[in-house]
């Protein structure tokens, strides 16, 4: 099992945000996470990554069978975890090209990927500094793929990205996942990424709990049609 979360509850600033979460993911699987604003999706990803400020009050997280509750972020990165932020930070004084060379020693791979993601002209700029919203998202994906992460945690990868660039990012992401046998947990509001990624399972998070599981495209169509209210009222057998 790639990821196993057992009875996880998480607090931030003394407030309980995640409540008794259970989740399992196999290797080479893509899981789509839906849920209204403020339901706890980003908190889940940040807790898996080990960000400070998110305190596990109950439960356990395992990656490849190893309990990671108390591991620092760098150890989690060594286990293959990688995050694409909802709001990526800028790194003043560090060129994107320098970071790329640090993450990947093969210059051909860097050049090929930067051209695929239309980032050739950004390599000589400071990482994410004054990048447009869409450029920042492409830069995040660029870094993550160069890093070679086995398990990608993607927080709204298509937010603020135009249709054409969603297609570019979606294809780059899909070929990375498929060709290298990688896994991903992807948060999406717009559902656009579902057109490019083969994801078998999806789940809805509401008020810090997992609510429903199902086929991601079907779930998204239902959310689009009736909003999250139907999820609340849902009595489907998959209700958690």
Choose between 30 and 205: whose C-beta lies nearer to ligand ATP: 205
Residue closest to 33 by CA, chosen among 42, 46, 24, 22: 42
In this structure, the dihedral spanned by the alpha carbons of residues 151, 207, 193 and 140, taken in order and rounded to 10 degrees, is -50
- 85 vs 176 by CB, closer to Mg ion: 85
- Contacts to ligand ATP by CB under 6 A: 12-13, 15, 17, 35, 37-43, 53, 86
Residue nearest to Mg ion (CB): 42
CA–CA separation, 96 vs 94, rounded Å?
6
The nearest distance, CB 2 to ligand ATP, in angstroms, is 22
∠ Cα 203 228 141 (to 5°): 50
DSSP 69-116: TT--HHHHHHTTEEEE-SSPPPEEEEEHHHHHHHH-S-HHHHHHHHHH
Query: Interface residues with Mg ion (CB under 5 A)?
Result: 42, 86
Pick one of ligand ATP, Mg ion, none as the site partner of residue 82 (Cβ within 5 to 8 A by kind): none
Q: Shortest Cβ distance from residue 137 to ligand ATP (Å)? A: 14
The least CB distance from residue 222 to ligand ATP, in Å, is 18
Q: From Mg ion, ligand ATP, none, which one binds at residue 157 (CB under 5 to 8 Å depending on kind)?
A: none
Least Å distance between CB 230 and ligand ATP?
18
Contacted entry of ligand ATP, Mg ion, none for residue 15, CB cut-off 5 to 8 Å set by kind? ligand ATP
Distance between CA atoms of residues 239 and 215, nearest Å: 13
Provide long-range contacts, Cβ within 8 A and 24+ apart, for 9-14. 9/56, 9/57, 9/58, 9/59, 10/40, 10/43, 10/44, 10/47, 10/54, 10/55, 10/56, 10/57, 11/54, 11/55, 11/57, 12/43, 12/53, 12/54, 12/55, 13/53
Residue 146 interaction partner, one of Mg ion, ligand ATP, none, beta carbon < 5-8 Å per kind: none
Q: State the nearest-atom distance from the C-beta of 57 to ligand ATP, in Å.
A: 14
Q: Please choose which of ligand ATP, Mg ion, none residue 35 contacts, taking the beta carbon within 5 to 8 angstroms, the exact cut-off set by kind.
A: ligand ATP
For residue 32, the minimal CB distance to ligand ATP (Å) is 14
- Decide which of ligand ATP, Mg ion, none touches 47; Cβ closer than 5 to 8 Å per partner kind: none
Q: Report the residue number, 35 or 214, with the smaller CB distance to ligand ATP.
A: 35
């Amino acid at each position: 099992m790639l990821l196993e979360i057992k009875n996880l509850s998480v607090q931030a600033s003394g407030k309980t945000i995640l409540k008794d979460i259970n989740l399992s993911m196999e290797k080479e699987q893509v899981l789509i996470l839906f849920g209204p604003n403020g339901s706890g999706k980003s908190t889940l990803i940040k807790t898996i990554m080990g960000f400070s400020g998110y305190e596990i009050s109950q439960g356990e997280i395992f990656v490849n069978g190893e309990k990671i509750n108390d591991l620092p972020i760098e150890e989690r990165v060594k286990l293959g975890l990688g995050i694409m932020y909802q709001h990526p930070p800028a790194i003043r004084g560090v060129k994107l090209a320098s970071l790329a060379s640090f993450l990947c020693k093969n210059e051909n791979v860097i050049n090929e990927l930067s051209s695929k993601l239309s980032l050739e002209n950004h390599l000589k700029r400071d990482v994410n500094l004054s990048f447009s919203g869409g450029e920042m998202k492409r830069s995040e994906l660029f870094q993550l793929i160069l890093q070679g992460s086995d398990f990608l945690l993607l927080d709204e990868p298509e937010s603020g990205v135009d249709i054409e660039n969603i297609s570019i990012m979606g294809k780059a992401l899909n070929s990375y996942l498929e060709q290298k046998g990688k896994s991903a947990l992807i948060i999406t509001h717009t559902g656009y990424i579902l057109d490019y990624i083969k994801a078998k399972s999806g789940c809805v998070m509401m008020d810090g709990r997992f609510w429903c599981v199902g086929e991601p495209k079907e779930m998204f169509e239902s959310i689009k049609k009736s909003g999250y209210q139907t999820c609340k009222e849902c009595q489907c057998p998959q209700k958690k």
